[in-house]
Amino acid sequence: MAKGKLEIKKMATAGSVESNDILIMISQGEGDIEIELESVVEKQFGEDIKNVIRETLIEEGITDAKVIAKDKGALDFTIKARVRACVQRGVEA
Amino acid sequence: MNYLNNIDVRTVKVLEQSEFPSKSQPKNKLIENAEELIRGLGLKDNAVVSFHHHLRNGDKVLNTIMKEIQRTGVKGLTLVASSLFPVHAEIIPLLQDGTIENIVTSYISGDLAKAISYGELKGNIIMQTHGGRARSILNGEIEIDVAFIASPSADKYGNISGVNGPNSCGTLGYVIADSIKAKTVVSVTDCLVDYPNYPADITEDYVDYVLLIDSIGRKEGIVSGTTKVTKDPIGLKIAKDTLKVMEATGLLKDGLSYQSGAGGISLAVTAFLRDYMIENNIKGSFASGGITGYLTNMLEEGLFSSLFDVQCFDLEAIESLKRNPNHIRMSASQYGNSEVSAVVDNLDIVILGATEIDTNFNVNVTTGADGVLMGGSGGHADTAAGSKVSIIVSKLFSSRIPLIKDRVDVITTPGTTVDVLVTERGICVNPLRTDLIEAFKKAKLDIIDIKDLKAYSESIMGKPEPIEKTDRIIGLSQYRDGRIIDYIYQVKK
Amino acid sequence: MNYRSLLFIPGNNPGMLQSSDILGADGIIIDLEDAVALTEKDAARILVREYLTTFEPRKGVFIRINPLDSPYFYDDLDVIKDLKITGIVLPKAGVEPMTKLEEYLDEHDLDLEVIPLVETAMGLETALEIVQVSDRIIGLFLGAEDLTLDLGAKRTKESKEIEYARSRIIAAAKAFGIQAFDTPFTDTDDIEGLRIDTKNAKDLGMTGKTAISPRHVDEINKAFSPTEEEIDYALRVVEGVKAANEKGLGAFSLDGKMIDAPIIKRALNLLKTSGDYKEEYDELLK
- Residue B431: CATH number of its domain: 3.40.1080.10
Same structural domain for residues B239 and B199? no
User: How far is residue C137's CA from residue C86's CA, in Å, rounded to a whole number?
Assistant: 12
CA of A92 vs chain B CAs: smallest distance (Å): 32
- Among B278, B262, B181, B173, smallest CA distance to B224 is for B262
Same structural domain for residues B133 and B45? yes
Residue C215 with chain B: CB contacts under 8 Å = 231, 233, 236
Same structural domain for residues C217 and C264? no
Let me know: does A17 contact A70? Beta carbons within 8 Å.
Answer: yes
Same structural domain for residues C37 and C170? yes
Same structural domain for residues B329 and B356? yes
pLDDT at residue B240 is higher than 80:
yes
The answer to whether residue B306 is domain-embedded is yes
Q: Do A18 and C51 touch (CB under 8 A)?
A: no
pLDDT of residue A1: 47
Same structural domain for residues B266 and B414? yes
Question: Which residue among B198, B222, B246 closes a domain?
Answer: B222
Same structural domain for residues B172 and B286? no
Q: ipTM beyond 0.90?
A: yes
Same structural domain for residues C26 and C162? yes
pLDDT at residue C280 is higher than 90:
no
Same structural domain for residues C191 and C163? yes
Q: Do B399 and A40 touch (CB under 8 A)?
A: yes
Question: Could you give the number of structural domains in chain C?
Answer: 2
Q: Do A73 and B370 touch (CB under 8 A)?
A: no
Same structural domain for residues B173 and B284? no
pLDDT of residue B226: 58
Select the residue from A44, A52, A75, A76 to test the B interface by mutation, using most B Cβ atoms within 10 A: A44
Q: Do A84 and C18 touch (CB under 8 A)?
A: no
Helices (H), B351-424: 380-386
Let me know: does B47 contact B74? Beta carbons within 8 Å.
Answer: yes
3-class secondary structure, A33: strand
Same structural domain for residues B125 and B273? no
Same structural domain for residues B445 and B412? yes
How buried is residue B247: exposed, middle or buried, by Cβ count under 10 Å (0-12/13-18/19+)? Answer: middle
Question: Which residue among C223, C245, C276 closes a domain?
Answer: C223
∠ CA C241-C246-C252, rounded to 5°: 40
Q: Do A21 and C14 touch (CB under 8 A)?
A: yes
3-class secondary structure, A34: strand
Least-confidence region, from B4-13, B85-94, B421-430, C36-45:
B4-13
Question: Could you give the number of structural domains in chain B?
Answer: 2
Residue C13 with chain A: CB contacts under 8 Å = 18, 21
Question: Which residue among C223, C243, C268 closes a domain?
Answer: C223
Least-confidence region, from A2-11, B292-301, B337-346:
A2-11
Confidence of residue C206 (pLDDT cuts 50, 70, 90): very high
Q: Do B233 and C19 touch (CB under 8 A)?
A: yes
Looking at chain A, which residue has its C-alpha nearest residue B399? A73
Same structural domain for residues C184 and C258? no
Name the residue range of residue B107's domain. 30-222
The answer to whether residue B492 is domain-embedded is no
| CATH code, domain carrying C148 | 3.20.20.60
pLDDT of residue B399: 82
Mean pLDDT of chain B: 95
**CATH 3.40.390.10 is right for the domain spanning A12-91:** no
Quote the pTM value: 0.90
Question: At C11, which amino acid appears?
Answer: G
CA of C154 vs chain A CAs: smallest distance (Å): 35
Using the Cβ of A14 and the Cβ atoms of chain C, whether some distance falls under 8 Å is answered with yes
Chains in contact with B via at least 3 Cβ–Cβ pairs below 8 Å = A, C
Name the residue range of residue C251's domain. 228-285
Using the Cβ of B464 and the Cβ atoms of chain A, whether some distance falls under 8 Å is answered with yes
Same structural domain for residues B254 and B278? yes
CA of A82 vs chain B CAs: smallest distance (Å): 16
Question: Which residue among B222, B250, B279 closes a domain?
Answer: B222
Q: Do C14 and A74 touch (CB under 8 A)?
A: yes
